[in-house]
Chain A
Amino acid sequence: MVETQGDLSEQWGLIAASVRGAKHIQSGLPNQDAYQYKRAKDYLFLATADGHGSLKYFRSQIGAKLAVEAAEEVIIKEALVDGFDPKTLPLVKERVKEKLPVRIVKSWREKVEQYQEDNPFVEDETALAKLKEIETKQGPELREQIESSSDGYLKAYGSTLTAVLVTEHFILYLQLGDGDIVTMSQWGEVTRVFADDQLGNATNSLSMADPAPYFKISLTSATKKKPNLFFIATDGYANSFRSEEDFFKVADDFAELLPKQGPQFLKDNLPTWLKETTEAGSGDDITVLLAYQNSLLTEQENSEEFETLQARKDD
């Protein structure tokens, strides 16, 4: 018999904000990030996607939007199985790692194909202007490849994807390309779920020929090590900080502000803070989705107790 945790939508709070990058404003580019979240009785879902910025990815804001949509549809459908037995989690992991990326990519490609069919480049003045610019700046071959090869149009929609699904039994973390998933444990330990092991500026992307092998997936039991707080962010956020330590400190700040000022304060101010961050930092679009356990809001008393214990330890 598995003990249930009750209504997840009552346990978790959510705050989301997305701002257009300072450099995007200067160059007239739209906010190419997208995000999606859903809080239900039996799950909490969050996803961000960062459409690539360079010229050939001229429909990447659409690609990013379709990426978070595909992630939500596929992940929720695949993961929410009636009567799921948490004991099968170690065995399920292998199948999830093998199949989930393939199915997300398939869904994203179908969505992009549909969008492309409904909005062909030839009927879109912006797209034609971008293709002309590509031809001038990067040569006619690239234009030819994007416009005429069988799935060359996918390139224009290139995007990363980051998603988290929390259920009563497990937490699924998934990432393709740049971006960050940062968790804070019940003991205040802040960690990045996936190490940043990509070299150089090129990012893994949904528009790659075969992106499935490049997905990073982590599936952990929700009964043992459930974080108190986590956030997912597009890379414009981490790139705005001087060091990893400074970036990690954001989680501490969120955890400190939530009980002190309340979630509404964060909701009201996050867009402004992110705007200031992009202006002073990366200049890139920034999207942050923050999820916290509601119990965190009432833990001030406990924190005093913690300080006492800490003091005793120091003695």
Chain B
Amino acid sequence: MSLMPQAGDEVKTVKAKLDCKIKESIGDGTQGKVYKAEYGDQQVAVKWYKPSKATTKQKEIIEDLIKEGAPCDRFLWPFDLVYSSSIEGFGYIMELRKPGYKSIAELVARRVNTNYRALCTVGYQLADSYRKLHSRGYCYRDINFDNIFFNPRNGEISICDNDNVGINNESEASVLGTQRFMAPEVVRGETTPNTSSDIFSLAVLLFYIFMNSHPLHGKQESKIRCFDLPAMQKIYGQEPVFIFDPDDDSNRPVPGEHQNAIDSWPIYPEFIRELFTQTFTEGLNNVNKRVREGQWRSAMLRLRDSIFYCVDCGGENFYDPQQMDKEQPGECCHCAQELVLPYRIKFDDNEQKIVMLNSEAKLYPHHTDKNSKRDFSKEVAELTQHPKKPSVWGLKNLSDTPWSVTNNKGEIKEVVPERSIALAAGVKIDFGNRVGEIIY
């Protein structure tokens, strides 16, 4: 009996009782190996456990996950167990990661070209996926940047290594997580990973994605040698201090060493910095103060809507209504030229519901319909240029219901589907149950 599958070996699925042909190995970890495999006409991935890890308990965990099914299709979830009479142990079969997807580790190492819009989508999908997982009573336990993959063009994500998922506060954890992503109470050994520690790890991951640095890596970390892992416990567990803690400047990022954090932090709007600050100050030791997945989800969508482009270099910037003067919004974070704000639309007269109307902007039911939160399934409006006057921009009605538009003189007009309304400050559009006002 061989210990691990070889290319060309046939293994069988337990439920469907079909053959699956093992191809090349595509990953090797402490628990087992992952192979590309052929399952009928489908290309799949098979994870096979090393003999010491192929325990009855592990098998039960996978059986349970298969029975429950994936929280959403972003999880590369086990869908059947596999076995072979000639290979020891067992494995499971899952969907193969889509081509072109990159790991967050590659993003953090700055080896992936992407943009803020895609990163906001990554952040939104992460928060949304973990919310769905947690609402089922599961915890992930090992959130880190090696098991999240994303499409650099649009930010769509895939979450791998789901076999460490377990029932919150019930099933025994086989992993403690990756130290730098662990919540302080897990590092100190006071608890095993659970949904509250997952939420902490999610915030660390988001901080890495947006700041390219660790939220606790500052002056204290700069004194610790690279190979001295035990010393890092103090940073993560015993004495964690947020690098931008407004009330404690003892662990500020060090120029040259944590330059990414220094450069990135001011780029983001205050509402994003507040969420990180809350999680990494009060939330360090009080799990109830940690920003929840739902809050991150809304914040990431708001952040995506606040992107606008520098007229000089075309670089992405974020609109911050709390910080930016409408007349003088400040300098581009890429080229330092003076920024010019584009038209934007504010819904329900709420500063938190502003969408920047860039040339490629689109509105979705998420924006225009109170009852369709996070619905991006169809476009409701898009920006268009006047066919004869290219300098005049309009908002085209892509929905199937007319809009009631009030101009700044108080005149009311109907804009039927496929027609556009010219952008002008003060124009109000009633989309049905939500009103948006054009601002300039």
CB contact between A79 and one of B226, B229, B230 (< 8 Å): that residue: B226
B227 touches A81 (CB 8 A): yes
Q: How far is B229's CA from A96's CA once the two chains are assembled, in angstroms? A: 10
B229 touches A88 (CB 8 A): yes
Q: Using C-beta atoms within 8 Å of the partner chain, give the interface range for chain B.
A: 10 to 19
A210 touches B227 (CB 8 A): no
Contacting residues, chain B, for A106 (C-beta < 8 A)? 256-257
CB contact between A92 and one of B109, B226, B257 (< 8 Å): that residue: B226
A213 touches B226 (CB 8 A): no
**In the complex, B232 has a CB within 8 A of chain A:** yes
| Contact A95 B232, CB 8 Å, known A77-B225, A81-B225 | yes
| Contact A91 B256, CB 8 Å, known A79-B226, A84-B227, A100-B226 | no
**In the complex, B43 has a CB within 8 A of chain A:** no
A:73-105 near B, CB below 8 Å: 77-81, 84-85, 88, 90-92, 94-100, 102-103, 105
| Contact A92 B229, CB 8 Å, known A106-B256, A106-B257, A109-B256 | yes
Q: Using C-beta atoms within 8 Å of the partner chain, give the interface range for chain A.
A: 20 to 34
A210 touches B110 (CB 8 A): yes
**In the complex, B228 has a CB within 8 A of chain A:** yes
Contacting residues, chain A, for B226 (C-beta < 8 A)? 78-79, 92, 95-96, 99-100, 103
**In the complex, B111 has a CB within 8 A of chain A:** yes
Q: How far is the CB of B209 from chain A (nearest CB, A)?
A: 15
**In the complex, B399 has a CB within 8 A of chain A:** no
B109 touches A213 (CB 8 A): yes
A:251-274 near B, CB below 8 Å: none
**In the complex, B179 has a CB within 8 A of chain A:** yes
| Contact A79 B257, CB 8 Å, known A91-B179, A213-B110, A213-B111 | no
Interface string of A214-230 (1 = CB under 8 A from B): 00000000000000000
B229 touches A95 (CB 8 A): yes
Q: How far is B179's CA from A92's CA once the two chains are assembled, in angstroms? A: 10
Contacting residues, chain A, for B180 (C-beta < 8 A)? 94-95
Q: How far is B179's CA from A100's CA once the two chains are assembled, in angstroms? A: 18
Q: How far is the CB of B243 from chain A (nearest CB, A)?
A: 15
Q: How far is B30's CA from A100's CA once the two chains are assembled, in angstroms? A: 25
CB contact between B257 and one of A88, A91, A102 (< 8 Å): that residue: A102
A:29-86 near B, CB below 8 Å: 77-81, 84-85
8 contacts between A and B (CB under 8 A): A79-B225, A81-B227, A84-B227, A99-B226, A100-B226, A102-B257, A103-B226, A106-B257
Known pairs A81-B225, A99-B226. 7 more at Cβ < 8 A?
A: A79-B226, A81-B227, A84-B227, A94-B180, A96-B226, A97-B109, A213-B111
